[in-house]
């Protein structure tokens, strides 16, 4: 549960294009409330645990507004300028690395914040959490692993194309074909992702149980959240690295193929979200004053 909470906050900032700008701002403003309700889908918390969760979520969001959103705003502004001039593969890599670094920072903070709550979960609550993880995994399996190879590839391609079109506007035939080539080159990726989900869930449950003995629960949870790949099988890690490199290669090739309208659309989107990040950070500063 908690490893997904940290990633959710980060992705809410980084992948804001999945919703409209106004919807993103509204979602972020209500993130503590939304995440509290989301978390209780996985664990039936006591009244005391619910109060602790909401308090820590509010603290985490205040910190994220003050320290992280300005970093995202600067990165998005810089990316908009680079995109207008012609973004290189190295610049795309720098942006990806920045996102990973910010996610790691958020993960450490979230792990430290929520360790007391996670380690307060009873054995019955952890068994319930384990059952709900398993139900989630079955839904993932039905959605991403059920069907013929051709059907699965088409579904994945459609999803990726729609996300890219959020940023660039409609893709042309050549650009769509490039997305399909990436998907076709990694047919086992959904199965690997499911295996990783299960491994991380097991690691979280183990850390929660060990943490009841006191001591290093916060450090272990922070380390888990900061580097979700740590501890996984070497072949899976290598496959994920290959996927990331191939994905960046695809983005670089798409960048080279952008029309002037697509380039302007993407740069405008980046600047709009940078403005949103700054506005949300300013609201935090005003609230503190």
Residues 144-202 have pLDDT tens digits of: 999 999 999 999 999 999 989 989 999 999 999 999 999 999 999 999 999 988 998 89
| Secondary structure element (H or E) that encloses residue 115, with its range | helix 89-119
Reported confidence tier of residue 115, pLDDT bands at 50, 70, 90? confident
pLDDT attached to residue 174: 97
Residue 289 has pLDDT above 50, yes or no: no
Cβ atoms within 10 Å of 179's Cβ, excluding its own: 20
Please give the pLDDT value at position 30. 61
pTM: 0.81
Q: What is the pLDDT of residue 181?
A: 97
Domain count, the chain: 1
Residue range 231-244: mean pLDDT, rounded: 86
Tell me which residue range forms the domain holding 14. Answer: 2-288
How far is the C-alpha of 224 from the C-alpha of 44, rounded, in Å? 23
Residue 163 phi, psi (nearest 5): -65, -40
- Rg from Cα positions in the chain: 20
């Amino acid at each position: 549960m908690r490893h997904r909470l940290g990633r959710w906050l980060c992705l809410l900032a980084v992948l804001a294009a999945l919703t409209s700008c106004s919807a993103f701002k509204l979602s972020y403003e209500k993130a503590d409330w939304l995440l509290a309700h989301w978390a209780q889908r996985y664990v039936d918390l006591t009244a005391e645990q619910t109060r602790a969760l909401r308090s820590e979520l509010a603290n985490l969001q205040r910190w994220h507004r003050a320290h992280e959103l300005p970093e995202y705003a600067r990165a998005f502004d810089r990316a908009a300028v680079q995109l207008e001039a012609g973004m290189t593969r190295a610049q795309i890599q720098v942006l990806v690395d920045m996102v990973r670094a910010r996610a790691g920072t958020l993960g450490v903070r979230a792990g430290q914040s929520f360790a007391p709550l996670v380690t307060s979960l009873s054995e019955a609550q952890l068994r319930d959490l384990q059952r709900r993880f398993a139900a989630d995994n079955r839904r993932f399996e039905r959605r991403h692993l059920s069907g013929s190879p051709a059907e699965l590839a088409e579904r994945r391609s459609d999803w990726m194309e729609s996300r890219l079109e959020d940023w660039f506007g409609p893709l042309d035939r050549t650009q769509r074909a490039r997305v399909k080539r990436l998907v076709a080159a990694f047919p086992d990726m959904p199965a690997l992702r499911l295996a990783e989900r299960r491994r991380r869930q097991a690691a979280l449950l183990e850390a929660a149980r060990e943490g009841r003995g006191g001591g290093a629960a916060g450090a272990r949870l922070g380390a888990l959240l900061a580097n979700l790949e740590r501890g996984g099988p070497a072949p899976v890690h290598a496959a994920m690295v290959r996927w990331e490199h191939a994905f960046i290669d695809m983005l670089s090739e798409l960048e080279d193929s952008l029309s002037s309208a697509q380039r302007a659309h993407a740069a405008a989107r980046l600047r709009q979200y940078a403005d949103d990040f700054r506005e949300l950070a300013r609201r935090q500063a005003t609230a503190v004053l």
